[in-house]
């Protein structure tokens, strides 16, 4: 999903990939005395949201939403907020409910954390932790290449994230560099789902989709395959 935008051995990555906030972003201020919005609140107004969050610059965008930096006023914490224009989800409302349900059930250092979500008549706001450094696609574009050691650490982190969600019978269905935040954290669960029986739906990003998905013959439920353990053994 992201198009722009506590890791083990993160110091091995370039300094510009380690920054929590990049130049031009929001700066912390003294905490303001404001009433916190109810988490999972609905039927709010834009003024309610602005009263509790200072919305900043765009750090990511996609077909249905954009991601902005924001400052939570009551504790001055810098976060990210995914702002979804609800009219663009007409007929796809299940995607929003699915993402909220799945992200709300996950807690892992390699999966981006959903902190709260709020809804007005026209927009939904998904407040998440801010992962600095952008996405892996941007990092590859900037660097051109990574060393074998750096790439190995990234593969290990992605394997840990996938092993965790697969243990909960969740499949991501849109794994690609744009959905991996430098750190490494797995993000954008808009197409993810719980799989308990073979799935025949063709989905994902055409340039990244796995070949076995295209024949639409059905895929079995997700299983933990010990991927991260295998990476560790090969290091």
Query: Per-residue pLDDT for 68 more than 60?
Result: yes
Angstrom distance (rounded) from CA 22 to CA 43? 33
- Residue 13 confidence (pLDDT) above 60: no
Region 122-138 average pLDDT: 89
Q: Which sign, positive or negative, has the C-alpha torsion 94, 96, 100, 106?
A: positive
Average pLDDT of the segment spanning 63-75: 91
Q: Where are the domains of the chain?
A: 10-129, 136-234
Q: Which residues are catalytic?
A: 174
Q: Which two tokens stand for residue 213?
A: 């998905």
**pLDDT of 18-51, one tens digit each?**
332 333 455 544 333 334 565 555 678 999 999 9
Which residue shows structure tokens 């308990």? 196
Topology (CATH level 3) of domain 136-234: Transferase(Phosphotransferase); domain 1 (1.10.510)
Is 176 flagged in the annotation as binding? Answer: no
Q: What average pLDDT does the structure give for the chain? A: 77
Written as one string, the DSSP assignment of 203-227 is -S-TTT--GGGTT---BPPP----H
Better-predicted residue by pLDDT, 94 or 149: 149
User: Does residue 70 contact residue 26 with C-beta atoms inside 8 Å?
Assistant: yes
220 vs 235: CA distance, rounded Å? 30
Element (H, E) at 170: strand 170-171
163 band by pLDDT with thresholds 50, 70 and 90? very high
Residue 15 has what pLDDT? Answer: 38
Of the candidate CATH numbers 3.30.2420.10, 3.30.200.20, 3.40.50.300, 3.40.50.720, the domain formed by 10-129 belongs to 3.30.200.20
pTM here is 0.71
Contacts of 159 (CB under 8 A, 6+ apart): 227, 228, 230, 231
For the CA atoms of 26, 29, 34, 40, the dihedral, rounded to the nearest 10 degrees, stands at 40
């Amino acid at each position: 999903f992201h198009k722009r935008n506590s890791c083990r051995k993160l110091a091995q990555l370039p300094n510009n990939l380690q920054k929590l906030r990049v130049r031009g972003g929001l700066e912390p201020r003294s905490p303001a005395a404001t009433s916190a919005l109810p988490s999972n609140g609905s039927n709010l107004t834009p003024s309610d949201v602005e009263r509790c969050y200072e919305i900043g610059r765009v750090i990511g965008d996609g077909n249905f939403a954009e991601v902005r930096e924001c400052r939570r006023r009551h504790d001055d914490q810098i976060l990210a907020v995914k702002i979804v224009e609800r009219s663009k989800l007409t007929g796809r409302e299940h995607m929003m409910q699915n993402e909220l349900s799945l992200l709300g059930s996950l807690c892992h250092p390699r999966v981006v954390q959903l902190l709260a979500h709020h809804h007005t008549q026209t927009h939904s706001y998904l407040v998440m932790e801010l992962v600095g450094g952008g996405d892996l696609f941007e990092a590859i574009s900037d660097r051109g290449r990574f060393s074998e050691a750096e790439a190995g650490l990234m593969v290990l982190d992605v394997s840990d994230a996938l092993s965790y969600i697969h243990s909960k019978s969740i499949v991501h269905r849109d794994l690609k560099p744009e959905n991996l935040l430098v750190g490494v954290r797995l993000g954008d669960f808009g197409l993810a789902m719980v799989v308990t029986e073979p799935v025949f739906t063709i989905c994902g990003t055409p340039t990244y989709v796995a070949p076995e998905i295209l024949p639409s013959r059905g895929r079995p439920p997700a299983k933990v395959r010990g991927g991260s353990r295998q990476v560790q053994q090969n290091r």
